[in-house]
Chain A
Amino acid sequence: MTGAGIWRWLAPLLLGVLVLALWEWAVRALDVPVFVLPAPSAVARALVADYPLLLGSLWLTLKITLQAFVLALITGVGLAVLFAQSRTLSAALYPYAVILQVTPVVAIAPLVIIWVGYERVDLALLILAWIVAFFPILSNATLGLTAVDPNLRDLFRLNGAGRWQTLWRLQMPSALPYILAGAKVSGGLALIGAVVAEFVAGSGTASGLAWRIVESGNRLNIPRLFAALLLLSLLGILIFAALSWLQRRLLARWHESEIGRGA
């Protein structure tokens, strides 16, 4: 790693440590009440003390987010493939996909929860997170599957390629960068969807991180609220980092977006 490479990691890290130290000092020096702003040390203590509780919540949120994301990936790409096969089908279905996308998830959440039933609220959360995560994959995959080099398409036709050969050997690889870009957006949205849905579901039916935040707020246990918030951010960063890594891995040797990154 070059000096500049280390600095890219070190600079934000140092800034973080500096801000935390300032924060700690300010809270102590100004004697800020803990229910307004807890010091980083208090948050850390809450994290350690409530470790089993928070970890359980983290696990639940993670599970719903991942399930929703995978489901979005499968249904999004699957539907895009169908769209690419038939113009009529795509014309008929696309508006509904858009309606699903533009309707705020908070507005449909109560309905979905009622339909699915409070006793299966996990499923309702999954559905809601999926609705939010699904569209970027669908629209990107649809774009990618149709944005094929027309000359390559002719080459396939000239050599008598069938529909499936064209799909697997030409359209899918062409669409891969688009799908991965969509997945990066969608991974973050799945988490947001899961959190929002849990806020709406409320009242202790699901006990993911979002519920932990609501509950801690109600009890004025602000250090624990911060601890839950911290875990939520970490989860978001983790998802983003994992998807970025995958994107680099899969496109490194051939796609323009990765040129000059030293594959």
Chain B
Amino acid sequence: MLRIAGLDLVWPDGRKALDGVDLTVGAGEFLSIVGPSGCGKSTLLRIVAGLIPPSAGGLDWSDAPTSGGIGFVFQEPTLMPWAKVLDNVRLPLDLARVPRKEGGVRAMQQLERVGLADFSAAYPRELSGGMRMRVALARALVTRPRLLLLDEPFAALDEITRFKLNDDILALWREAGVTALFVTHSVFEAVYLSTRVAVMSARPGRIVADIAIDLQHHRQQSMRTEPAFGALCRRVSDARSAGMAGGMAGGEVAA
């Protein structure tokens, strides 16, 4: 679906955030990116979304997504506090001038999928952190995007909510048939969710390992304690440590 080749990003102040990132994203994959804080994961997602132009290299789409073809879930829920839950979810449709009635129906369906149909008339601040994140998910999926970009969406949540949302997002990913690019700090989360995990080095970010997760497709919480799961986590974790060490040897200190 997307080939990223030799992608560099240099900020205006001259600091390099990404240094020759090569990554292929296949259609239907659930690809996670793990890496130390400040290595450029968010930056990479924003480039893929077309929000920042790369300094060198580029994105090679097999067929470029149109407006609404990419769903983005940010590190924070990023909801409009003045709008009710339903109006938040339907925003992308409203912006695309989808007829009001159709937009309402589709937004409501999406809310049902994330289990928040009862809260359609609530305001964001009346929801818990986990519920807000689910609203953000519903909003990202409402345009039926082909590519879903998720930037550490669960980083601020407690572990139980996080596990629950992990399963929710897997279900949504399977149902919607969307390709997912998922950024996380957590090795366990990456292995649990993904079909593939890419590991980034410390700043400036590069892809230092690309590990296929050959676990059975239907993930369950019980898998978290299985030896195969543990072995994969170790491989990702080792690659991450190596990437960080490499970064430091290059004179960079991870933030």
The reply to whether A253 and B95 form a contact with Cβ atoms under 8 Å apart is: no
B128 to chain A, nearest CB (A): 15
Determine the main DSSP class of A at the interface with B: helix
The reply to whether B96 and A151 form a contact with Cβ atoms under 8 Å apart is: no
A144 to chain B, nearest CB (A): 12
| Interface-located stretch among A30-38, A96-104, A153-161, A188-196 | A153-161
Q: State the CA gap A156–B74 with chains docked (Å).
A: 13
Given contacts A152-B78, A254-B123, A255-B81, contact A158 B50 (CB under 8 A): yes
Band of interface residues on A: 20 to 34
Question: Does residue A165 face the partner (Cβ distance < 8 Å to B)?
Answer: yes
The reply to whether A159 and B78 form a contact with Cβ atoms under 8 Å apart is: no
The reply to whether B92 and A159 form a contact with Cβ atoms under 8 Å apart is: yes
Q: State the CA gap A253–B87 with chains docked (Å).
A: 15
Q: State the CA gap A173–B50 with chains docked (Å).
A: 26
CB contact between A173 and one of B82, B92, B124 (< 8 Å): that residue: B82
The reply to whether A253 and B123 form a contact with Cβ atoms under 8 Å apart is: yes
The reply to whether A149 and B78 form a contact with Cβ atoms under 8 Å apart is: yes
The reply to whether A154 and B46 form a contact with Cβ atoms under 8 Å apart is: yes
CB contact between B74 and one of A151, A170, A174, A259 (< 8 Å): that residue: A151
The reply to whether A151 and B78 form a contact with Cβ atoms under 8 Å apart is: yes
Chain B residues with Cβ below 8 Å from A60 are none
CB contact between B91 and one of A169, A174, A254 (< 8 Å): that residue: A169
The reply to whether B80 and A154 form a contact with Cβ atoms under 8 Å apart is: no
Chain A residues with Cβ below 8 Å from B123 are 253-254
The reply to whether B95 and A156 form a contact with Cβ atoms under 8 Å apart is: yes
Question: Does residue B72 face the partner (Cβ distance < 8 Å to A)?
Answer: yes
A105 to chain B, nearest CB (A): 35
Closest A-chain residue to B46, C-beta based?
A: A154
Question: Does residue A55 face the partner (Cβ distance < 8 Å to B)?
Answer: no
CB contact between B72 and one of A154, A161, A176 (< 8 Å): that residue: A154
CB contact between B68 and one of A160, A173, A176, A255 (< 8 Å): that residue: A160
The reply to whether B46 and A159 form a contact with Cβ atoms under 8 Å apart is: no
Chain A residues with Cβ below 8 Å from B72 are 154-155, 158
**Among B82, B92, B125, residue most surrounded by chain A Cβ atoms (within 10 Å):** B82
Question: Does residue B67 face the partner (Cβ distance < 8 Å to A)?
Answer: yes
Question: Does residue B51 face the partner (Cβ distance < 8 Å to A)?
Answer: yes
The reply to whether B78 and A155 form a contact with Cβ atoms under 8 Å apart is: yes
Q: State the CA gap A149–B123 with chains docked (Å).
A: 17
Chain B residues with Cβ below 8 Å from A161 are 95
Interface residues of B in 77-94 (CB under 8 A from A): 78, 80-83, 91-92, 94
The reply to whether B67 and A159 form a contact with Cβ atoms under 8 Å apart is: yes
B88 to chain A, nearest CB (A): 10
Q: State the CA gap A246–B80 with chains docked (Å).
A: 21
Question: Does residue B70 face the partner (Cβ distance < 8 Å to A)?
Answer: yes
Q: State the CA gap A159–B50 with chains docked (Å).
A: 11
A250 to chain B, nearest CB (A): 9
CB contact between A159 and one of B82, B83, B91 (< 8 Å): that residue: B91
Query: How many residues on the B side are at the interface (Cβ–Cβ under 8 A)?
Result: 25
The reply to whether A151 and B95 form a contact with Cβ atoms under 8 Å apart is: no
Chain B residues with Cβ below 8 Å from A256 are 125
B211 to chain A, nearest CB (A): 29
Chain A residues with Cβ below 8 Å from B74 are 151, 154-155
The reply to whether B76 and A151 form a contact with Cβ atoms under 8 Å apart is: yes
Chain A residues with Cβ below 8 Å from B96 are 159-160
Q: State the CA gap A158–B92 with chains docked (Å).
A: 9
Q: State the CA gap A152–B95 with chains docked (Å).
A: 13
Q: State the CA gap A170–B51 with chains docked (Å).
A: 18
Chain A residues with Cβ below 8 Å from B78 are 149, 151-152, 155
Chain A residues with Cβ below 8 Å from B92 are 159
Interface residues of A in 157-193 (CB under 8 A from B): 157-161, 165, 169-170, 173-174, 176
B121 to chain A, nearest CB (A): 10
B153 to chain A, nearest CB (A): 12
A193 to chain B, nearest CB (A): 31
Q: State the CA gap A160–B93 with chains docked (Å).
A: 11
Given contacts A152-B80, A254-B123, A254-B124, contact A159 B51 (CB under 8 A): no
A141 to chain B, nearest CB (A): 16
Given contacts A169-B94, A255-B81, contact A154 B51 (CB under 8 A): yes
Question: Does residue B49 face the partner (Cβ distance < 8 Å to A)?
Answer: yes
Chain A residues with Cβ below 8 Å from B125 are 254, 256, 259
Q: State the CA gap A217–B169 with chains docked (Å).
A: 76
3 closest cross-chain pairs (CB), A and B:
A160-B67, A151-B78, A173-B82
Task: Give A residues with C-beta under 8 Å from B.
Answer: 149, 151-152, 154-161, 165, 169-170, 173-174, 176, 253-256, 259
Given contacts A158-B49, A158-B51, A173-B82, 6 further A-B contacts (CB under 8 A): A152-B78, A158-B50, A159-B91, A159-B143, A170-B80, A254-B81
